[in-house]
Structure 1
Amino acid sequence: MRLMLKFTIPVEKGNQVEKDGTLGKAIANLVQEVKAEASYFALEDGKRMGIVIFEESDQARMPVINEPLFAALDAAIEIQPVLTAEDLQRAL
């Protein structure tokens, strides 16, 4: 199943992990762990935000994916299934 993981990082924690080098490593580890199909980074409500699109069939891997973001970045995380335009056309 194709999933979209969206994370936001509190400003103070984001500043701290950017300075100590943890931010880039945590994001690179996430992208590598999920074999991301796409990843985007922006600001949302003044906070660092990322969206990572990936395929995952094993729900038991969610802690492996989520916990490093919680631990390293104090991230708020949302995960939801998403469709490509082709997936949507097949469903309709």
Structure 2
Amino acid sequence: MKMLVNVSCPIEPFNSMVKNGTAGEVIGRVVDEIKPESIYFSELEGHRAAIMVVDVPDASHIPSIAEPWFLYFEAICEFRIAMTMEDLMKSNLAEQAQKWQEVEMH
């Protein structure tokens, strides 16, 4: 399943890694290991951040995505399931609407 992963890195230890020249190398190793479909670097709430699209076969793979960010950067990682249009069409929204209309709350 596809997931959006938001990674937010606090100022430290990232600043120290930038100053000693290791930040780029470590990010490169982490990204090479995770192999995201895409990754964008930005900011989240004023912190350095990465936003990745990853394909996760099952939930047991989540630690292999999060741990490098946790261990090297003390980052915060947020995972969100992402559906493609095809996934959404398979969900049969009309059937869901019918099912839940029958149980109207008063």
Quote the residue 1:58 is aligned against: 58
Percent identity (aligned): 34
Q: Give how far 1:23 is off.
A: 2.3
**What TM-score results when the alignment is normalised by the length of structure 2?**
0.72
Q: Which has the higher contact order (CA 8 A, sep 6+)?
A: 1
Q: Is the 8 A contact 1:26 1:69 kept in 2?
A: no
SS at match of 1:57: coil
The amino acid across from 1:64 in the alignment is S
What is the TM-score with the length of structure 1 in the denominator? 0.81
In the alignment, which residue of structure 1 is the partner of 2:82?
82
User: What is the CA-CA distance between 1:83 and the residue it aligns to?
Assistant: 1.4
Gaps of 5+ in 2: 94-106
Unaligned residue ranges in structure 1 (runs of 5+): none
Pick the structure with greater CA Rg: 2
- Count of residues paired in the alignment: 92
Assess if the C-alpha contact under 8 Å between 2:9 and 2:49 holds in 1.
yes
